[in-house]
Amino acid sequence: MTLKVPDNQTIVIFGATGDLTGRKLLPALYNLFVQSLLPQDFAVVGYSRTEMSTDEFREHQAANVAKYSRTGLDPEAWERFAAHLDYMAGGFEPEAAMHPLAQHLEEVDAAIRGGGRRMFYCAVPPSLFPKIATRLGEEGLNLGGRIVMEKPFGFDLASARELNRQLHEVFDENQIYRIDHYLGKETVQNILVLRFANGMFEPIWNRRYVKQVQIDVAEELGIEGRGKFYEEAGAMRDIVQNHVMQLLAFVTMEPPARFDAESIRDEKVKLLRSVPPVRRRERDLVRGQYVAGVVRGVLVPGYREEIDVDPESITETFVAIRLRVENWRWAGVPIVVRTGKRLARSATQITISFAAAPHLLFEESGLDLPGPNNLCIRVQPNEGISLSFDAKEPGPEMRIGQVQMDFEYEKSFMTKPAEAYERLLHDVMVEDHTLFMRADEIERAWEIVEPVLERLPPDPYFAGSWGPERAKELVSPYQWHLR
Ligand code: BG6
């Protein structure tokens, strides 16, 4: 699919000197520019409290792009791109604090052919989202503007509802773009293609043939200096409520009526409504917290020893949950999800385990079968899909081994998947909501995790392991595919 060149517009970034802007947004915009996927005429206006000149802002971002852009920085391309960058210092308080910005935007837009289309990207802590919306509304900048923000959307169901209510006071739902960066990943989008462009999977994508679905979001990394944030969030809020629910929806939803944003989002919400809230029973839920251990040969501290973490914290850094999807397609199929920090390896993957052959001819002759047929979708790293099945090992004796058919993005398409933010920023520019979350979707995802948000003492696990031992019981009679 060739991506469309967006109409001319102005991109305003709130929190322009922050981490998200430097690591992700500017490198993504620069790479879109290099691929000629930014509008012909555009401006990027950075807005933040820090006093700095436009030249200083450009210099600061050049260093970020050089460091974080997937294609590096080409000085000539950077010069051309940087000419579109602009900076203004300012805050969000008190009332009318954004008046100077509104005036400035009039000037900026006047210099853009057909100017006046605007995107406002809130690269700021979520507590500021409502305030920014209010300030934009005061200046009339909500009219025709788009507002973009990133999870977490609320802290629980009640606060998510309140946030949606506040945003809807100023913006219509179709002006709001809520980012879950997992949806920008090529491999996540490919789940839809795998399922709905190939005739061979649909007939077996159901309770008759699928015996278990595993969704694994494992990270080697710890909390990377984000102790304050993580103490409040924990794995349930940081990963399960959003990234995991999105993966779950893509893998199990019904085919949409059409390939457009509303049809897809309708199906996702319908699916999430079929997922009952997580039960607090031991056999459905394991929470863990890492203690010091060895990750890839390096001794790392335990969670409670991390900076800004309470030495008696009971925040979970690991969860494994057994979920159900109560509908005609999936009734009775366990959907097990697992996510954790400081696990043995970083990998996000979805594994569909299929039913055994109806009559086990070989078992009768005393042969061990290696396990179920698994379709494994590797979201990252080593993006691709593999299918494992049993084959006869060469030799005079009848022995059975498991083999893999493997598709790798990089080998098949001779390219590395683009950064999620490139795709997502581009989609906001062309006003495509497909990969963004709707208010009802977010609220339903909170309803599912709500019963287990309350903290309870977690099981300890060693950094560098696969989490508490008990997590193994959740996938029984299978094993975790990622191990
Ligand atoms: C973020 C979480 O949303 O996703 C982080 O806040 C996590 O804790 C990150 O590390 C994982 O994203 P990715 O793209 O590296 O899998």
Indicate whether residue 150 lines ligand 1 (CB < 6 A).
Answer: no
Measure the CA–CA gap between 448 and 264, rounded to whole angstroms.
20
Q: Is residue 161 part of a domain?
A: no
Q: Which residues pair with 408 in a beta bridge?
A: 384
Residues with Cβ within 8 Å of residue 210, at least 6 apart in sequence: 204, 330, 333, 352, 353, 354, 355
Measure the CA–CA gap between 89 and 82, rounded to whole angstroms.
18
1: pLDDT strictly greater than 80: no
Indicate whether residue 238 lines ligand 1 (CB < 6 A).
Answer: yes
Nearest CA to ligand 1 atom 4: 239
How many C-beta atoms lie closer than 10 Å to residue 25's C-beta?
Answer: 25
Backbone angles phi, psi at 73, to 5 degrees: -130, 125
Q: Is residue 435 part of a domain?
A: yes
Shared domain for 65 and 145, answered yes or no, is yes
Ligand 1 nearest-atom number relative to CA 151: 3
Token readout for 411 is: 């080998």
Q: Is residue 332 part of a domain?
A: yes
Q: Is residue 454 part of a domain?
A: yes
DSSP characters over 382-404:
S-EEEEEEEEEPSSSS--EEEEE
Tell me if residue 243 is catalytic: yes
Smallest CA-to-CA distance from 437 within 302, 265, 294, 205 is with 265
| Residue ending a domain, choose from 150, 167, 201 | 150
Shared domain for 233 and 341, answered yes or no, is yes
Q: Is residue 159 part of a domain?
A: no
How confident is the model at residue 415, as a pLDDT? 82
Q: Which residues of 95-132 are buried (b: 16+ CB within 10 A; e: fewer)?
A: eeebeebeebbeebbeebeebebbbbbbbbebebbbbb
Shared domain for 211 and 141, answered yes or no, is no
Q: E strands within 315-458?
A: 318-323, 335-340, 347-354, 374-380, 384-392, 400-408
Shared domain for 373 and 471, answered yes or no, is yes
Nearest CA to ligand 1 atom 8: 238
User: What is the arithmetic mean of pLDDT over 114-141?
Assistant: 93
Shared domain for 456 and 374, answered yes or no, is yes
How many C-beta atoms lie closer than 10 Å to residue 1's C-beta?
Answer: 3
Ligand 1 center to residue 117 CA distance, Å? 31
Straight-line distance from the first to the last Cα atom of the chain, in angstroms, rounded to the nearest whole number: 36
Shared domain for 127 and 230, answered yes or no, is no
How confident is the model at residue 417, as a pLDDT? 77
Query: Of 243, 426, 433, 481, which is the active-site residue?
Result: 243
The kind and range of the H/E element at 443 are: helix 439-449
424: pLDDT strictly greater than 80: yes
The kind and range of the H/E element at 11 are: strand 9-14
Ligand 1 center to residue 226 CA distance, Å? 12
397: pLDDT strictly greater than 90: no
Ligand 1 nearest-atom number relative to CA 379: 16
Could you give the number of structural domains in the chain? 2
How confident is the model at residue 25, as a pLDDT? 97
Shared domain for 188 and 145, answered yes or no, is no
Q: Is residue 316 part of a domain?
A: yes
Mutate to test the pocket of ligand 1, among 20, 181, 290, 318 (most ligand atoms within 8 A of CB): 181
Ligand 1 center to residue 180 CA distance, Å? 10
How many C-beta atoms lie closer than 10 Å to residue 75's C-beta?
Answer: 8
Mutate to test the pocket of ligand 1, among 239, 315, 341, 343 (most ligand atoms within 8 A of CB): 239
Tens digit of pLDDT for each residue in 169-181?
A: 999 999 999 999 9
Shared domain for 468 and 346, answered yes or no, is yes
How confident is the model at residue 3, as a pLDDT? 76
Q: Is residue 164 part of a domain?
A: no
Burial (Cβ within 10 Å: 0-12, 13-18, ≥19) of residue 212: buried
Ligand 1 center to residue 5 CA distance, Å? 29
How confident is the model at residue 170, as a pLDDT? 96
Q: 281 with 303: CB under 8 angstroms? A: no
Burial (Cβ within 10 Å: 0-12, 13-18, ≥19) of residue 10: buried
Ligand 1 nearest-atom number relative to CA 182: 14
Ligand 1 center to residue 357 CA distance, Å? 38
* Single pTM value for the model: 0.93
Q: What is the CATH number of the domain that holds 431?
A: 3.30.360.10
Token readout for 97 is: 């604090």
Please state the separation of Cα 194 from the chain's center in Å.
19
Residues with Cβ within 8 Å of residue 481, at least 6 apart in sequence: 214, 216, 349, 351, 353, 374, 376
Q: 190 with 199: CB under 8 angstroms? A: no
- pLDDT tier for residue 333 given thresholds of 50, 70 and 90: very high
Q: Is residue 359 part of a domain?
A: yes
Ligand 1 nearest-atom number relative to CA 217: 16
**For residues 112 and 358, which has the higher predicted lDDT (pLDDT)?**
112
Shared domain for 220 and 291, answered yes or no, is yes
Shared domain for 193 and 102, answered yes or no, is no
Amino acid at 79: E
The kind and range of the H/E element at 287 are: strand 285-291
Shared domain for 62 and 204, answered yes or no, is no
How many C-beta atoms lie closer than 10 Å to residue 56's C-beta?
Answer: 13
Shared domain for 226 and 332, answered yes or no, is yes
How confident is the model at residue 359, as a pLDDT? 78
How confident is the model at residue 363, as a pLDDT? 65
Q: 391 with 367: CB under 8 angstroms? A: no
| Residue ending a domain, choose from 150, 168, 201 | 150
Q: What is the CATH number of the domain that holds 39?
A: 3.40.50.720
Amino acid at 413: F
User: What is the arithmetic mean of pLDDT over 344-366?
Assistant: 85
User: What is the arithmetic mean of pLDDT over 94-108?
Assistant: 95
Measure the CA–CA gap between 49 and 81, rounded to whole angstroms.
23
2: pLDDT strictly greater than 80: no
Backbone angles phi, psi at 218, to 5 degrees: -105, 140
Indicate whether residue 219 lines ligand 1 (CB < 6 A).
Answer: yes
Q: What angle do CA 96, 118, 142 make, to 5 degrees?
A: 45
Smallest CA-to-CA distance from 321 within 350, 282, 293, 356 is with 282
Give me the domain span that covers residue 28.
9-150
Amino acid at 386: S
Q: How far are the Cα atoms of 18, 31, 366 from residue 437, in angstroms, in the given order?
A: 24, 24, 51
Place of tokens 């043939």: 209
Ligand 1 center to residue 242 CA distance, Å? 11
Place of tokens 């409520």: 241
Nearest CA to ligand 1 atom 13: 182
Ligand 1 center to residue 80 CA distance, Å? 32
